[in-house]
């Protein structure tokens, strides 16, 4: 037993000539919430499938709860995949009963926030209720480790906050949690972050650790739509948030030159990059 609930050592997964996961080493400890970040196609879901024993590694080794991810150890796992893992043509109660039977545990009472829909087909529920049901089903057998693949995608802010309350309660009960998310405010709730790009683990630690010394340029102009279009056509990695334009890891003089050539007046100010901007920089980096 290594002391971690999840451990990967130099894990690689290839599909023909394509390397989806490239020599990744990582751990999750009991009571720790680890956020796995990265753009679409970074290799997050493939890595998760390897960690759970659903997909063999081409190279490297994986441990789940101190040993290989076999059926016995997976019985102590709670997993919420991107598609929720529920049967849409069964009710909430029927999904819960099926899962409890598979894990050979008693059927717990449906929580108050799902009681009114316990006899509703999962496919007829709003997405927020579906995700609440998926969480509850995954936790019904009191797992020692929880793996969540974008568990709050597509739900409103209040539902996301409630689901994260559930995640923190599990960690407080010494459950190790690995979670992927595209919401940076959720990443800030994790104890530690892992950042993947092009199949590699390219950053780990706190948000500040991952951002490092990456800088960005804030562009302030009344012609924000035209400025965005001009910079984008110049293949400059521009980000638009509302009417605010930011350009990560780019020479400010290059931005001024492009805007001046288009007749756009703008105020340019260097700023510290955000974690989303760091992810964009890594995603655009030349592949080895």
Model confidence band, residue 285 (pLDDT cutoffs 50, 70, 90): low
The residue ranges of every structural domain in the chain are: 6-210, 215-272
The strand pairing partners of 149, in sequence order, are 180
Same fold, 6-210 and 215-272: no
Q: Give per-residue pLDDT as tens, 105-159.
A: 888 778 777 888 888 898 888 887 888 888 888 888 889 999 998 887 777 788 7
DSSP conformation class of 67: B
CA dihedral of 123, 127, 128, 133, whole degrees rounded to 10: 30
What is the distance between the alpha carbons of residues 232 and 250, in angstroms, rounded to a whole number? Answer: 13
Instruction: State residue 255's pLDDT score.
Output: 93
Instruction: State residue 106's pLDDT score.
Output: 82
Model confidence band, residue 9 (pLDDT cutoffs 50, 70, 90): very high
* pLDDT higher than 60, residue 287: no
Q: Give per-residue pLDDT as tens, 83-96.
A: 888 889 998 889 88
Ranges 43-47, 116-120, 278-282: which has the least confidence: 278-282
Superfamily of domain 215-272: UreE, C-terminal domain (3.30.70.790)
| CA-to-CA separations, 258 to 128, 222, 223, 236, 274, in angstroms, rounded | 44, 16, 14, 10, 23
Instruction: State residue 110's pLDDT score.
Output: 80
Instruction: State residue 229's pLDDT score.
Output: 92
What is the distance between the alpha carbons of residues 273 and 152, in angstroms, rounded to a whole number? Answer: 25
Mean pLDDT to the nearest integer, 97-112: 82
* pLDDT higher than 70, residue 36: yes
Q: Give per-residue pLDDT as tens, 205-247.
A: 988 888 888 899 999 998 899 999 999 999 888 888 778 899 9
Instruction: State residue 144's pLDDT score.
Output: 93
Helix segments in the chain, DSSP class H: 44-51, 71-74, 92-103, 112-115, 127-139, 157-172, 184-187, 207-211, 224-233, 252-261, 275-284
pTM: 0.82
How crowded is the C-beta side of 103, counted as CA atoms within 13 Å?
23
Model confidence band, residue 1 (pLDDT cutoffs 50, 70, 90): very low
Residue 249 near residue 237 (C-beta atoms within 8 A): yes
What is the distance between the alpha carbons of residues 167 and 112, in angstroms, rounded to a whole number? Answer: 18
Written out in words, the top-level CATH class of the domain with range 6-210 is alpha beta
């Amino acid at each position: 037993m290594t002391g971690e609930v999840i451990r990967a050592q130099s894990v690689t997964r290839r599909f023909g000539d394509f390397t989806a996961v490239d020599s990744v080493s990582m751990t999750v400890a009991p009571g720790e919430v680890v956020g796995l970040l990265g753009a679409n196609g970074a290799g997050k879901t493939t890595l998760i499938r390897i960690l759970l024993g659903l997909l063999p590694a081409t190279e490297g080794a994986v441990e789940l709860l101190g040993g290989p991810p076999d059926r016995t150890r997976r019985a102590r796992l709670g997993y919420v995949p991107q598609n929720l893992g529920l049967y849409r043509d069964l009710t909430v109660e029927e999904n819960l009963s099926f899962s409890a039977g598979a894990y050979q545990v008693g059927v717990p009472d449906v929580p108050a926030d799902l009681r009114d829909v316990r006899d509703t087909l999962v496919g007829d529920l709003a997405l927020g209720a579906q995700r609440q049901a998926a969480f509850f089903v995954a936790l019904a057998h009191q797992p020692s480790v929880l793996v969540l693949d974008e568990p709050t995608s597509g739900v409103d802010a209040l539902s996301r906050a409630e689901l994260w309350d559930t995640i923190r309660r599990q960690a407080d009960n010494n459950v190790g949690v690995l979670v992927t998310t595209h919401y940076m405010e959720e990443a800030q709730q994790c104890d530690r972050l892992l950042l993947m790009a092009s199949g590699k683990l390219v950053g780990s630690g706190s948000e500040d650790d991952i951002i490092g010394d990456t800088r960005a340029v804030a562009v302030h102009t009344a012609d924000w739509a035209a400025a965005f279009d001009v910079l984008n056509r110049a293949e400059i990695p521009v980000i638009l948030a509302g009417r605010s334009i930011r350009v990560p890891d780019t020479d400010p003089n290059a931005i001024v030159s492009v805007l001046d050539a288009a007749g756009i007046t703008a105020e340019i100010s260097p700023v510290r990059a955000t974690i989303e901007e760091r992810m964009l920089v890594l995603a655009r980096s030349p592949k080895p």
